Chains A and B, each alone.
Chain A
Amino acid sequence: MFNKLFPNVELQDMITATNETLYMTIISVLGTLFLGIILGLLLFLSRPGGLWENKFLNWVTAAFVNVFRAIPFIILILLLFPFTDFLMGTIRGPKAALPALIIGAAPFYGRLVEIALREVDKGVVEAAKSMGAKNSTIIFKVLLKESMPALVSGLTVTAIALIGYTAVAGVIGAGGLGDFAYFYGFQRSDFDVVFVCTVLIVLIVFIFQFIGDILTRSLDKR
């Protein structure tokens, strides 16, 4: 039945491609989380009236974020080739896609982090100050903790965008479902392969969204 409907689909290839997509997504989500939180904190803390008010730092961070968000992802990959080569020692395969994925997504997530932090009640920060809290305590125990649901739902949105990016990265030979759909499906005119790859990507997106929603809900005690 399956073979009749999808004559060109090899199960083993599909599993490999799915694993590559999952690998790229998960590692880049982790990288984006780390870099995005740092960018978001820098944006939030250095703004006027912030804990580390600093015009220069704020300008530099905002410029970095805005520039990298403005570059279309496909061009960013090409632009980063030398950097990727230097960092990873290769420009092909799932590993080589990671720098571009993270640098492409982190500024986006950074903005979401900034928005989430801005939503934290100023009064709570003031209360922590009145108790004699250090800035580091305010950052880790108040700001990040109180904005957790927004940080998680923001990360879910970013992760889903990243799944899309991994498919784009496939076009330059990063591996994964996008790569497979293009080279083994589209170019050979085996549209059943394209179809199965699409279904698998949609499935992955749904799973990420589902996990994100559950986490957000369980963290939100408001």
Chain B
Amino acid sequence: MISIKELTKVFHTKDQDVTAVDHLDLNIQSGEIYGVIGYSGAGKSTFIRLLNRLEDPTSGSVTIDKQEITSMNKNDLRLARQEIGMIFQHFNLLWSRTVKDNIAFPLEIAKMPKEKREARVKELVELVGLKGRENAYPSQLSGGQKQRVGIARALANKPKVLLCDEATSALDPETTDSILDLLVDINEKLGLTIILITHEMHVIRKICHRVAVMENGKVVEQGDVLDVFLHPKRPVTKKFVDQVMGDPDQDHSLDLIHENYKSGKVLRLHFVGESTNQALISELSREFKIDLNILHGKITQTQKGAYGTLFVHVEGDQDEIERAQAYIQDTSVEVEVIPNVQ
């Protein structure tokens, strides 16, 4: 659907050249929610602006739905942009227009006749849950509502792609979640491809199917969100994963666990995807003559299933514990014995 090849952007300043995006290659499938995460200065903002040529690339190509954006003339680009929606961190609404008229703006640009425009605006207002606020001005809306207007506006011309530039970074956690739910909803209902950039791993975890990690203008790691969560390779990726998971190995509570449980075994269970839906713990205690005690852990949900770590203390007959371990190994849960102080 979207293929990006050797994309490079160099900014020339007085004293030096800054390479914001450096020979970046990326392929994005139709209908997926693709997240790009990186710290500020990683080049992600420039990257997303290159996709609809709000910034012109220095070299490389961007192809969206078989149309090569990077080789278009001004007029073709304008028409292509009408099929690429974009939402922004600071919403960028026209304060002089009401909600209704803000949403109608891209339709005016696309020269849709007035009656059709009104019907379409009505649909969009309902889609983003702003019914009853049509005649309000942006200054009368909350941040979350403003972003809903932004989303409705971006969807007005039925785009194939939605670009989200830090769309939730200016919102509080609760509002962020409601906007993310709306994006997932739109992705599922309209089959829209969504590309979002963010510095919050929470956003990636909650709605993305695939993720790319950017550092110094390059993609240093990419893949399914779950894989990246499970096996972060680069230090920067690990840091992002720790943002939502905490770092269980370094948690000081492990010391306490060792102090308090002198007998039996402490197991670390690593849940990836599907298995979280099974009632593993209750199965174990039913099938084997062991006592299980959940000590510590965190499970989190991603678009492709759950992911997390659980520390359990097992007490019982040595053989029985080993049989239980073997049983766990047959599921998709990874198990590991934490060296115990006997």
B107, closest chain A residue (CB): A131
Contact pick for A124, options B79, B92, B110, B139, CB 8 Å: B92
Bound together, the chains give a CA A146 to CA B52 distance in angstroms of 24
Residues of B within 8 A of A127 (CB): 86, 88, 92-93, 153
Contacts of A222 in B (CB 8 A): 95, 139
Chain B hits for A134, CB < 8 A: 78, 109
Closest-CB distance, B270 to chain A (whole angstroms): 42
**Count of chain B residues near A, Cβ 8 A:** 29
Partner-B contacts on A (CB < 8 A): 121, 123-124, 126-134, 137, 141-142, 145-146, 148, 219, 221-222
> Which residue of B has the minimal Cβ distance to A221?
B137
Known: A127-B86, A221-B139. Is A132-B81 also a contact (CB below 8 A)? Answer: yes
Q: Are A141 and B105 in contact (CB under 8 A)?
A: yes
B241 lies within 8 A of chain A by Cβ: no
- 24 pairs from A and B in contact (CB 8 Å cutoff): A121-B90, A123-B90, A124-B93, A127-B93, A128-B105, A129-B54, A129-B81, A130-B54, A130-B81, A130-B84, A131-B105, A131-B153, A131-B157, A132-B78, A132-B80, A132-B106, A133-B78, A133-B109, A134-B78, A137-B108, A137-B109, A148-B96, A221-B137, A222-B139
**B26 / chain A contacts, CB cutoff of 8 Å:** none
Chain A residues in 8 Å Cβ range of B81: 129-132
Q: Provided the pairs A131-B105, A132-B79, A137-B109 are in contact, do residues A145 and B52 lie with their beta carbons within 8 angstroms?
A: no
Do B79 and A146 touch across chains, with their CB atoms under 8 A apart? no
Question: Is B94 in the interface zone, CB < 8 Å from A?
Answer: yes
B82 at the interface (CB under 8 A from A): yes
Query: What residues of B have a CB within 8 angstroms of the CB of A121 in the complex?
Result: 90, 92
**When A and B form their complex, which 8 residue pairs have the shortest distance between CB atoms, in order from nearest?**
A132-B81, A127-B92, A123-B92, A132-B82, A130-B86, A132-B78, A131-B106, A221-B137
What residues of A have a CB within 8 angstroms of the CB of B109 in the complex?
128, 131-134, 137
In this complex, what residue of B is CB-closest to A127? B92
**Cross-chain contact A126 with B139 (CB below 8 angstroms):** no
How many residue-residue contacts, CB under 8 A, span A and B?
Answer: 67
Q: Which listed residue (A123, A131, A145) contacts B82, Cβ 8 A?
A: A131
Chain B, Cβ-Cβ closest to A137: B109
- Distance in angstroms between the alpha carbons of A134 and B82 in the assembled complex: 11
Contacts of A145 in B (CB 8 A): 94, 96-97
- Chain A: CB-nearest residue to B89: A123
Q: In the complex, which residues of chain A have a beta carbon less than 8 angstroms from the beta carbon of B77? A: 132
Q: Once bound together, how far apart are the Cα atoms of A148 and B82, in whole Å? A: 27
- Residue among A124, A127, A131, A132 with the most chain B CB within 10 A? A131
Whole-angstrom CA separation of A124 from B90 in the bound complex: 9
Residues A132 and B54 in contact, CB atoms below 8 Å apart? no
Question: When chains A and B are docked, how far (Å) is the Cα of A131 from the Cα of B84?
Answer: 8
Q: Which of A123, A128, A221 is in CB contact (< 8 Å) with B96?
A: A221
| Complex: A218 Cα to B274 Cα, angstroms | 58
Q: Which of B67-85 contact A (CB under 8 A)?
A: 77-82, 84
Kindly state the separation between the CA atoms of A127 and B84 in the bound complex, as whole angstroms: 12
Contact B92 A221 (CB under 8 A): no
Query: Which of chain A's residues has its CB closest to B163's CB?
Result: A130
- Note all chain A residues with C-beta closer than 8 A to B86: 127, 130-131
Name the interface residues of B35-55: CB closer than 8 Å to any CB of A. 52, 54
Q: What is the CB-to-nearest-CB distance from A217 to chain B, in angstroms, rounded to a whole number?
A: 14
| Given A130-B86, A131-B105, A132-B109, A142-B94 contact (CB < 8 Å) | yes
